[in-house]
Chain A
Amino acid sequence: DADVTQTPRNRITKTGKRIMLECSQTKGHDRMYWYRQDPGLGLRLIYYSFDVKDINKGEISDGYSVSRQAQAKFSLSLESAIPNQTALYFCATSGPGTRSNQPQHFGDGTRLSIL
């Protein structure tokens, strides 16, 4: 089984709809991240969380919100989806603990299309 699981893997929806992408991990890591991938732009950080009570905005947080329901679960929401949020979304984790500069481990992504 995958250590970092993202659901759904694919989603097509309409402009204005609320969407939630979910991420769960079995690695026991404290730190979780949400990234967006667009062609030619690499991975850009949306939000990150260093523990259940800690949520931080990343480079491109506008139009997104997150919830850290437990150490193992981190959800990304698009409150009112717009077409330019069509992208690949990745969840990542790092840890254990708070030692700096630990590798990040990625899920296999959610392909989101907004019509």
Chain B
Amino acid sequence: GENVEQHPSTLSVQEGDSAVIKCTYSDSASNYFPWYKQELGKGPQLIIDIRSNVGEKKDQRIAVTLNKTAKHFSLHITETQPEDSAVYFCAATEGAQKLVFGQGTRLTINP
């Protein structure tokens, strides 16, 4: 089955700097890659996703890149702000509608 590895497990950046979180996956048939943000006491919320026919997608300060050949995808957050502090999860599909999640990255934005 699918295996998703996420790095780093913790990340601390200065406010205004960029943050990058990386994930690798094992199943070459995976074709959908969402990213979720989880704030304290809340469930994960989808922030951006990318499908296998696209190499990059941007939404304001957030971007995701996908390299299908290398089987890795990354989340990029630019001009970080304190409200970006949270736990971030990547995921990849297994089969038609199951997701396999990475282990999570705790991002801290230092003022």
Chain A contact residues, CB within 8 Å of chain B: 4, 31, 40-45, 48, 50, 58-59, 90, 92, 94, 100-109
Q: Is B69 an interface residue (CB 8 A)?
A: no
Asked whether B97 lies within 8 Å of A31 as measured between CB atoms, the reply is yes
Q: Evaluate contact between B98 and A42: CB separation under 8 angstroms.
A: no
The residue among A40, A43, A104 with the most chain B CB atoms within 10 A of its own CB is: A43
Cα A109 to Cα B97 in complex, Å, equals: 21
Contact (A106, B101) CB under 8 Å given A40-B9, A100-B96, A101-B31: no
A-B contact count (CB 8 A): 57
Interface residues on B, range: 20 to 34
Which stretch in B36-44, B59-67, B70-78 binds the other chain?
B36-44
Q: Does B54 contact A (CB under 8 A)?
A: no
Check B45 against A106 for contact (C-beta < 8 Å). Answer: yes
Whether A90 lies near B44 (C-beta < 8 A) is yes
- A42 and B49 contacting across the interface, CB-CB below 8 Å: no
In contact, B103 and A50 (Cβ under 8 angstroms): no
Alpha-carbon gap, A103 to B89, bound state (A): 14
Give me the 7 closest cross-chain CB pairs, A-B, nearest first: A106-B43, A101-B32, A42-B101, A43-B101, A100-B96, A42-B103, A108-B43
Q: Which residue of B lies closest to A4 (CB)?
A: B43
A107 to chain B, nearest CB (A): 5
